[in-house]
Chains A and B, each alone.
Chain A
Amino acid sequence: MMRRDETDRTGVPAVIRALLLLIFAVPSISADDTCSPCHAAVIASHEQTAHAHSGGGSCSSCHGGTAAHLSSPNRENIFTPTTTDSARADAPCLGCHGALVPTARWRGDHHARAGLTCVGCHRIHPKETIARSTTLPTRALLREASESETCYGCHAAIRRAQLQRSTHILPDDRRGARMQCSECHDVHASGRDNLLRAPRVNTLCLTCHDEKRGPFLWEHGPVRDNCLSCHAAHGSNNTHLLTMRVPMLCQSCHAGDAHTTLAPSSSSAWLAGRGCVNCHQMVHGSNHPSGVTLQR
């Protein structure tokens, strides 16, 4: 009868483990005794990470066989994800993190197809910097001190939003990003445009802004269609992340409906404060029997 101890802690029987080891295992190299003479600094930084304290194994767990490298130490004869082609670079990571990022999903999705690899965003051997030492370290071993800074590496234009008059990238004490990109984007694989976490933009927005999910007695058509009809997702020069200034935004559809066609000057009462929303305050929808004009 098999004792519990003979089963590994994820339920793989010892016999199968032994078989796997027999088939696949290469001699495991202990960092301390073999690699540290040349790579002391790298190993020191590795010791600070979750990998070193999560049973993540030794250098060879990710870098593969080391025999050739030991006999002739150079970059070419050791597996390094940063210098290999993208098809092979992710294999060591996906081997353990396959449940988080299923290989089949990652390889067909946008970031992988754009040639990005795990080490494009994750730094397995992080380097200490002031930015890192004054910020709560990310657990994801990201290249930069925060998730958003890592994304800005390629998506530089999104950084602009962080400093705009209205921003979705809510700032922390030191103007870093408090709200991170992964709140809305599944960077590993979502199968959707812009790697959104939800099948619709509105579904995503209404997760936090659920007061606007209705359904309302009087709906505002564009709101039900797409929040991005009126709002910019990341940042805007206008208040409330609006894509245009009011009243121009409203007048893009409601030209000549009932009101003055055009406010003649900047000091017009039509433009003060929230403009049209001064009266049509329930612009996202109204549940009032007299709210057909979205005023109640």
Chain B
Amino acid sequence: MVAAALLAGPIRAMDEASEPDLAVDLMAMGRAVSVSVGVPIEFQRYRDVPQGLVIPFLRIDASRGLHFFRFDAAGAAEKDRAVTVEIGSRGRWRFDARFDQWPYLHTTHAATAHNYYGQGRLLVHDGLQKDLEAAPDADVPRLAAQLASEAGRRRLAVQRDRVRARFDLQLTPDWSVHAGAREEARNGQRPVSIGAFEPLAGPGAAFALIGFEVPAAIEIRTSDLTFGTSFHRPRHGFDFEVLYSRFRNSISDILYDNPFRLTDNAEHPLRSSRIISADWPSSTSQAAILSGYFSVTDHIRLASTLGWTRIVQKEKFTSYTVNHAIPSPAGFSPGLGPVNKEALPRGTLEGRLRSISLDHSLAWEVTPRATLRVDYRDLDTADETPDLSFPGYAGYGDAVWRTELDGQPIARPPLSLRNRQAIVDLDWRPAKPFSLRGEYRHTDRERGGRRGGATRQQSVAGRAMVRFGGGDFASIHAEYSVREPGSSAAIVPFDLAGRRRAAIRAQGDWSPAGSFSIGASVAEQRNDFDDSSVLRNFDLSEAALRLRWFIGDSATVTGDVIRSSIHHSQRWTALTHGAQWHRSTRDEVTDVGFSLEELFRDGRLSVAFRVTGSFARQRVDTDSNGGLNQDWPSVRNGLKDLASGVEYAFSDRLRVGLQHTYEMFTIEDFAWSALSPYPLESLDDDTDARRVLFLDTHGEGYHAHQIGLYVRTKFR
């Protein structure tokens, strides 16, 4: 009977000749915005919130029979707008295009003496370099502070604009083909920091820190093309898709003046007046994915996916350095030095990265009460880049030629990774309403070209669940896993070698009455790294409670509280005198939310109120058995959001409303709060930081109000 119901509707609809249908849904708003502090970077970090007349959304739907046209625009007058157009004929073809924008605001007030001359060139006035270089150490702070105060302030932001389009053609009810394209541009400026140590006298002598940030330009474009075909039937089907992607960075390298040095010198004191850095390299990639599924019987289903990806990178290298004072090292061809690209062993990386992934799964309803799922996954990523070795590199702020690093020659190791995983998962429902689930997972990881070698992990997990009907349930899930010690205890976090993990999660939803529901979850996860020389523990705790109450037909109340804690502890041993430190860091976040919506006058008048708050604190405690030691102040941040609104529906076609939003963001972070363009006075002298200049990009807390009067009209 269900199948009958499924087929009756569509078939009948296809028989009908429909009248043209047009629907418009428009919201227009007059908005005022008030932000209380002068540097509200965080307020507009990811969004554009302009004042005046805005169109939060416009939707136009038109159809006739099976043909349709849809237009959606969100924030059409803003820099984070999203516009979608869809046209097509149901069951035959469909074309959709979407234009998206995302702003990312780094700062509104960057202070810099660097001027941008295009093509990644960031230069300062020679006179400035001359004054700062000539100044005795004692005078540098005064001159640098003066430079910072006189520098012009500018806005640094990156705008991401993306267009995506896709065409689907249904060749038969089961078989379709599609083609898609994406064009994405990122333009703007971002802060890039440059830092180095200058050996002041000679090897083994004191170093001076040179550091500065520059506003580097971003000119990036990505183009993707996709073609694919799909064949879907309830019992079997497949998808095949190929993708070509081209990433282009117009700025292959960034050249910047060192504001503290006018002259190059490869003898002590070492110095470099100009530094060149490589930016993200342009590349292309191709991918192909074939996936299919097949129901062997009514109770056994197989699914497989084969994926292949290749990335090719042939960006031209820049030279080792632009410091002409570095003499030609031994072994270089006559007339060539580190500043000549011709001295490089190869002009480009000729980089090739290839990945093959293979996923198989079997889902078997062994009995009406038991389901078995078996998965096998194999991911093989191989770096097929030809080997590349260099005679040396320009180090210490591009000031000296070095022929080894940590005693090793300068050679590129190709990184490879193979990850194989087998999962067996049994779901058993011995009797209603109980269900049990058990999972065993075996993972093998092999790495090449790195200190981290092969690791192997075994994990078991189990879940018990009780379903009470409707949406009510209670479950408990536990997991234990052990990863064998790896070849290097020093690289635990990404290798996860030697990790012992125990985790438990309890969750439930309960509706004692149809109109009231409550949900809760509690989770604990402990990760111990007994073999690690650094990271000792990484633990997570989480608890959440939420409720929803429909009071009659007119009021809805929701509330939620979420509390989470992340704790990790680390241990270090000093290289020189053997003192040990232990550091414990705890991140705690508490979120609360409450909302109320009430309808009056037969639903024509709506009143809504919502408050949410996030309170986050990070504590860092350190102790040592003899080393210099000091606890750090807590880092705090919080976001409170209070929104209220009232809306009156004059008819189904016209609604008028007023809404107000208040946001309060607070932040205390010692790593950023103390920074100004010239931070010497706020930094300790554990290193000589007289020659450090920042852009001053950090944001501050804010209070912001938005009030909007809107009209929403829908007509058909």
Residue B458 at the chain A interface, CB threshold 8 Å: no
- By beta carbon, the residue of chain B nearest A224 is B415
Total count of chain B residues near the partner, CB < 8 A = 211
Bound state CA distance, A278 and B327, in angstroms?
28
Which of these, B235, B427, B544, B572, contacts A156 with CB under 8 Å? B544
Residue B457 at the chain A interface, CB threshold 8 Å: no
A-B contact list, 20 entries, CB within 8 Å: A96-B9, A102-B237, A108-B363, A129-B597, A130-B647, A134-B645, A160-B564, A163-B613, A172-B47, A173-B75, A174-B706, A178-B47, A199-B359, A211-B280, A225-B447, A244-B585, A253-B494, A279-B211, A289-B393, A296-B275
Bound state CA distance, A129 and B554, in angstroms?
10
Tell whether A107 pairs with B363 under 8 Å between CB atoms, given A269-B686, A272-B675. yes
Indicate if the CB atoms of B303 and A104 lie closer than 8 Å. yes
Seen from chain A, the residues whose Cβ lies within 8 Å of a Cβ on chain B are 8-12, 17, 20-21, 24-26, 28, 53-58, 60-65, 79, 82-83, 88, 91-92, 94-96, 98-99, 102-105, 107-108, 113, 115, 120, 128-131, 133-137, 139, 153-154, 156-157, 159-160, 163-165, 167, 170-175, 178, 191-192, 199-200, 203, 210-219, 221-222, 224-226, 229-230, 237-238, 244-245, 248-249, 251-253, 255-258, 260-275, 277-279, 281-282, 286-293, 295-296
Tell whether A210 pairs with B173 under 8 Å between CB atoms, given A25-B4, A130-B647, A281-B193. no
Tell whether A273 pairs with B575 under 8 Å between CB atoms, given A92-B2, A173-B75, A213-B283. no
Quick one: which of B622-665 are within 8 Å of A by CB? 622, 624, 627-630, 632-633, 635, 637, 639, 641, 643, 645, 647, 655, 657, 659, 661, 663
Contacts of A20 in B (CB 8 A): 7, 11
Indicate if the CB atoms of A264 and B359 lie closer than 8 Å. no
Indicate if the CB atoms of A264 and B278 lie closer than 8 Å. no
Residue B328 at the chain A interface, CB threshold 8 Å: no
Bound state CA distance, A199 and B59, in angstroms?
35
B649 to chain A, nearest CB (A): 8
A-contact bits for B313-325, CB 8 A (1 contact / 0 none): 1010111110000
Indicate if the CB atoms of A269 and B247 lie closer than 8 Å. no
Comparing B124-132, B261-269, B383-391, the segment that makes contact with chain A is B383-391
Tell whether A262 pairs with B8 under 8 Å between CB atoms, given A12-B173, A191-B361. no
Comparing B107-115, B142-150, B466-474, the segment that makes contact with chain A is B466-474
> Nearest 9 A-B pairs (CB), nearest first?
A57-B9, A55-B13, A61-B9, A95-B6, A279-B195, A108-B363, A163-B614, A222-B494, A288-B278
Bound state CA distance, A257 and B408, in angstroms?
14
Indicate if the CB atoms of A273 and B706 lie closer than 8 Å. no
Which of these, B9, B92, B301, B684, contacts A104 with CB under 8 Å? B301
Tell whether A221 pairs with B278 under 8 Å between CB atoms, given A253-B534, A256-B573, A262-B583. no
Bound state CA distance, A40 and B681, in angstroms?
72
- By beta carbon, the residue of chain B nearest A280 is B195
Contacts of B173 in A (CB 8 A): 10-12
Indicate if the CB atoms of B494 and A134 lie closer than 8 Å. no
Contacts of B366 in A (CB 8 A): none
Tell whether A266 pairs with B473 under 8 Å between CB atoms, given A102-B237, A261-B575. no
A-contact bits for B288-331, CB 8 A (1 contact / 0 none): 00000111000001010101010101010111110000000000
Indicate if the CB atoms of A57 and B12 lie closer than 8 Å. yes
Indicate if the CB atoms of A288 and B277 lie closer than 8 Å. yes
Tell whether A217 pairs with B317 under 8 Å between CB atoms, given A133-B655, A251-B572. yes
Contacts of A273 in B (CB 8 A): 193, 213, 671-672, 675, 694, 698
A273 to chain B, nearest CB (A): 6
Contacts of B492 in A (CB 8 A): 252-253
B594 to chain A, nearest CB (A): 13
Residue B154 at the chain A interface, CB threshold 8 Å: no
B501 to chain A, nearest CB (A): 15
A-contact bits for B657-692, CB 8 A (1 contact / 0 none): 101010100010011101100010011101101001
Which of these, A133, A203, A221, contacts B494 with CB under 8 Å? A221
Contacts of A211 in B (CB 8 A): 220, 247, 249, 280
Apart from A54-B90, A134-B647, A213-B285, what are 11 other A-B pairs with CB-CB below 8 Å?
A: A55-B18, A102-B232, A191-B303, A221-B415, A230-B494, A253-B534, A273-B694, A287-B280, A287-B315, A290-B393, A291-B393
Contacts of B641 in A (CB 8 A): 163, 175
Bound state CA distance, A88 and B9, in angstroms?
18
Tell whether A178 pairs with B176 under 8 Å between CB atoms, given A215-B349, A269-B686. no
- By beta carbon, the residue of chain A nearest B589 is A160
A157 to chain B, nearest CB (A): 5
Tell whether A267 pairs with B683 under 8 Å between CB atoms, given A262-B622, A289-B319. yes
Bound state CA distance, A221 and B74, in angstroms?
40
Residue B97 at the chain A interface, CB threshold 8 Å: no
Contacts of A26 in B (CB 8 A): 1, 4-5, 8
Contacts of A230 in B (CB 8 A): 493-494
Bound state CA distance, A263 and B692, in angstroms?
17
Indicate if the CB atoms of A237 and B587 lie closer than 8 Å. yes
Residue B167 at the chain A interface, CB threshold 8 Å: no
Bound state CA distance, A192 and B423, in angstroms?
11
Indicate if the CB atoms of A292 and B393 lie closer than 8 Å. yes
Residue B436 at the chain A interface, CB threshold 8 Å: no
Indicate if the CB atoms of A136 and B10 lie closer than 8 Å. no
- By beta carbon, the residue of chain B nearest A50 is B61
Contacts of B153 in A (CB 8 A): none
Bound state CA distance, A225 and B173, in angstroms?
41
Tell whether A174 pairs with B295 under 8 Å between CB atoms, given A11-B173, A290-B398. no
- By beta carbon, the residue of chain A nearest B239 is A102
Contacts of A104 in B (CB 8 A): 234-237, 293-295, 301, 303
Indicate if the CB atoms of A288 and B318 lie closer than 8 Å. yes
Residue B422 at the chain A interface, CB threshold 8 Å: no
Contacts of B438 in A (CB 8 A): none
Residue B539 at the chain A interface, CB threshold 8 Å: no
Indicate if the CB atoms of B170 and A10 lie closer than 8 Å. yes
Indicate if the CB atoms of A157 and B102 lie closer than 8 Å. no
Indicate if the CB atoms of B585 and A262 lie closer than 8 Å. no
- By beta carbon, the residue of chain B nearest A55 is B13
Residue B591 at the chain A interface, CB threshold 8 Å: yes
Quick one: which of B308-362 are within 8 Å of A by CB? 309, 311, 313, 315, 317-321, 344, 349, 351-353, 355, 357, 359, 361
Contacts of A12 in B (CB 8 A): 173
Indicate if the CB atoms of B359 and A192 lie closer than 8 Å. yes
Indicate if the CB atoms of B671 and A271 lie closer than 8 Å. yes
B137 to chain A, nearest CB (A): 15
